[in-house]
Structures are given as structure tokens and as C-alpha cells.
Amino acid sequence: MDIHLNAKQLKSDVKLVISGSKSESNRILLLQALYPYLKIHNLSNSDDSEFMQKALQSVSTIKDIHHAGTAMRFLTAFYATTAGQEVVMQGSSRMHERPIGVLVDALQQLGANITYLENQGYPPLKIVGKNITLNQVRIKADVSSQYISALLLVAPKLENGLEIELLGEVTSVPYLKMTLQILTDLGIENHFSGNKIIVKPCEKLTLQEFTVESDWSSASYFYSIVALQPIGFTTHLASYKKSSLQGDSVLQEIYKDFGVETIFSENQITLKKVAHPTKQSVAYDLRNAPDIAQTIAVTCLALGMGCNLTGLHTLKIKETDRLLVLENEISKFGASISTTSNTLLLAPFNVELFATNPEIAIKTYQDHRMAMAFAPLACKQPITILEAEVVTKSYLAFWDDLKRLNF
């Protein structure tokens, strides 16, 4: 499904309800599998969370999580540490190109029985669940925080808990802190000091219910849209809280540079365009919030600003090589952009070129964030988003919500 967009005059003051955070949802779903009496509210309706739920509920020994990377990592740890379970973890062709060796190595240190069925270090995996009694493990921390979170989530049900030694600089620290805070909220004792994390065994949670906050990554696309509107334009998003666990909540600080103010009121935020940007170029280290890199790069392009984004090394092993494809698609507008394995550099752009461009087709590369990050550019010129249905991976109602704004 391709979608043609030409957003000339948008409707201000619209209120949108954003689905629960995919990151929080998948963490709490795994904990619910360990503690079945736990009730969850505002669960994400994303494909990733759906695949996570289906895998946990299915009696099949083949667990196909398609393109859900979080589910692959979390469920690998879950089944490896659940005695009596024998499963095959598999996914899409792209999932079989995404490395998982760091996590498998750590689980094997603990005595887990995991076999690679095709390529060493990559899914699909055969897992024979075991009762794990060892409680010390070392893991590389500079590749993906999801590997560490996978271990943390199963740790409270291990007989002796778990002590994790982190090797190297930790990637995406807010996501790691999110996992630990959720454990704390549920009454699971844990300690994080220096390069060591300790999680104590826990038989019963002190909390019976958990409400998932709405997804800040999904909010990023509306920050981008508001940044491109006249002063005074507003959009309201629910349900968000000021003390968020999500790393992408840094949006409220970053988008001040683009003239967007974030106003908290009860369980919602109001995004308001209050000023025109004054900087010709911006620079951000996104190591703790890499999922908003695409949104920021496209916002800068639309405003004619340059940007220097760093801390992006995890983007090359996502649904696609996000740095390479960002360079491909942004170049179509005549902008000067270059990337390395860790950085993106966009030169200030002459926005008058938008008026001379024909309608440009944006390839999405089976990546939901490519579709959503580029959609706001329709405020500047007509664009087509190819294979637009990919947004269901994280934000099922995205195109419907854009229609409410008059896209």
C-alpha cells in the first residue's frame, strides 16, 4: 500500500490518544508470563507486541516473531531459562540477519542450551529450556541494551537471582533504567552500581497491576509536524507523564531548538509552536535515544537546518541499515548528507527547492520509522510513502491520526 500525502493547511488543536509504549509493553508482557496474575493496562497494539503475545500464548514449538527484534531477544532469554520448554525461535529474513550472539553467549555462560540452526551468531535458534542455578554472567554492554534487559527480566525467577557484569560503555542507558525501574515498581529488588547489576530472586510481586505509558517514539512524528507549522499551532497527545521511563522523552528538550514547547496537563501533553528556530545547525548525541534520529534528521531537512547526529551505531542493525537508507532518501531532495557507522551529518538546506521538486517517492525498506519520519515532509511538498503499511510494527493508527490533522 502506497500513500500520497500533500498536507497544505493542517487542523490545529486536535487531541490524539497514542498507544502504549512498545518498549514498556514488551517488558511487562514478559514479566506477566513469569507472574501470570499481573494485570496490564494501555498495552501497545503494535505488531511487535502482538507477536510477543502470540508467541507467549502459542502452544507451538515454533515461535515465529517475524520482524519483532525486542521479542526475539526477550523470548530467547525466557525460553532458555524455563525448564521443560523446547522451542525454535525464528523470524523474518531480516531478523535472521540481526545479531544475537552477545545474548546467546551470556545465556550459555549460565548453562543455557541454545543451538544456532543456520548462521553462527544469528537466528533461527533451537532452545531447550533449563533450570538455571548459576547466577553470575559477563556481557558486552556496547552493542544493544536489549540483550541486558532480556537477562534482567528473567533474573527474578532464577533460583539464585543474577549478577551481571557489564563490559564496555553501556548503550541506550535509559532503556536499561526503564527495565530496572519496572522491576522496582513491581517489588523486585535490584541494584545497579558501577558496571554491575544485581537482581534478587522474587517469588511474588508487590504490585498486581501496571499501566503502560503512551509511546514517546510515536510522539516524535507530531513534534516534527508541529515544528513545521505556523506559530500558535497546537496538538494534544495522551497519555504521557512528566517522570517518564522512556529515553525518547528527551524530545521535549530537543524540540525547543525547533520552536516547540511541551506543556504537561494531567495525563496529556500539548505540543505548541511558539517560535521560529534561530539556529542554522544543531548537534545531538543520541546514544540514549537512537530511535528518534530519523525524525530529527527529517525535521532539520524540512526547516532548512543542518544537523550533526552522533551515537547512532545501533541503527545499522535495526529493521534496515537506518543510516544508509536515510542518506539514500534525504538525498532525493537535493540535500547534502553523509553518514558513517555512528554519525549523520546534514548540511543546511535551501528550502526553496521544495517548490521545484516533483512529487518524491520515499522507500521504507520494511522499516516503520522511515515511513513515519518522512510523513511530515508532506507539509512542504507532495510525497508518496511506499509500502506505508509498515507503520503497524509500532503504530497501528498512524495514518488515521494524520488524517485527523488534515493530511
Q: What is the pLDDT of residues 381-390, one digit of tens each?
A: 999 999 999 9
- Note the pLDDT of residue 170: 85
pTM over 0.85: no
291 catalytically annotated: yes
For 78-117, what is each residue's pLDDT tens digit? Answer: 999 999 999 999 999 989 999 999 999 999 999 999 999 9
For 11-60, what is each residue's pLDDT tens digit? Answer: 999 999 999 999 999 999 999 999 999 999 999 988 889 999 999 999 99
Distance, CA of 326 to CA of 363 (rounded, Å): 10
The full length of the chain comes to 407
Mean per-residue pLDDT for 355-359? 88
- Note the pLDDT of residue 49: 93
Kindly report the average pLDDT of the chain as a whole number.
Answer: 94
Distance, CA of 164 to CA of 135 (rounded, Å): 8
Give the helix ranges, DSSP H, for 81-215: 101-109, 145-154, 173-185
**Coil, helix or strand at residue 190:** strand
Query: Is pLDDT larger for residue 120 or for residue 355?
Result: 120
**CA-closest candidate to residue 284, choices 310, 259, 261, 252:** 310
For 135-168, what is each residue's pLDDT tens digit? Answer: 999 999 888 899 999 999 999 999 999 999 999 9
- How do the domains of the chain map onto residue ranges? 3-19+214-404, 22-211
Report the share of the chain in percent with pLDDT over 70: 99
| Domain topology for 22-211 | UDP-n-acetylglucosamine1-carboxyvinyl-transferase; Chain (3.65.10)
Asked whether the domain spanning 22-211 has the same topology as the one spanning 3-19+214-404, the reply is yes
Distance, CA of 311 to CA of 297 (rounded, Å): 14
Task: Give the pLDDT band of residue 317 (cuts 50, 70, 90).
Answer: low
Residue 169 has pLDDT above 90, yes or no: no
Among candidate residues 257, 291, 367, 401, the one labeled active-site is: 291
Residue matched to cell numbers 537466528: 123
Residue 297 has pLDDT above 70, yes or no: yes
**CA-closest candidate to residue 180, choices 168, 198, 166:** 198
Mean per-residue pLDDT for 270-274? 98
Mean per-residue pLDDT for 168-196? 92
For 188-213, what is each residue's pLDDT tens digit? Answer: 999 999 999 999 999 999 988 999 99
Phi/psi-derived region of residue 63, left when phi > 0, alpha when psi is between -120 and 50, beta in every other case: beta
Residue 184 has pLDDT above 90, yes or no: yes
3-19+214-404: CATH number: 3.65.10.10
**CA-closest candidate to residue 150, choices 100, 93, 218:** 100
Distance, CA of 162 to CA of 151 (rounded, Å): 8
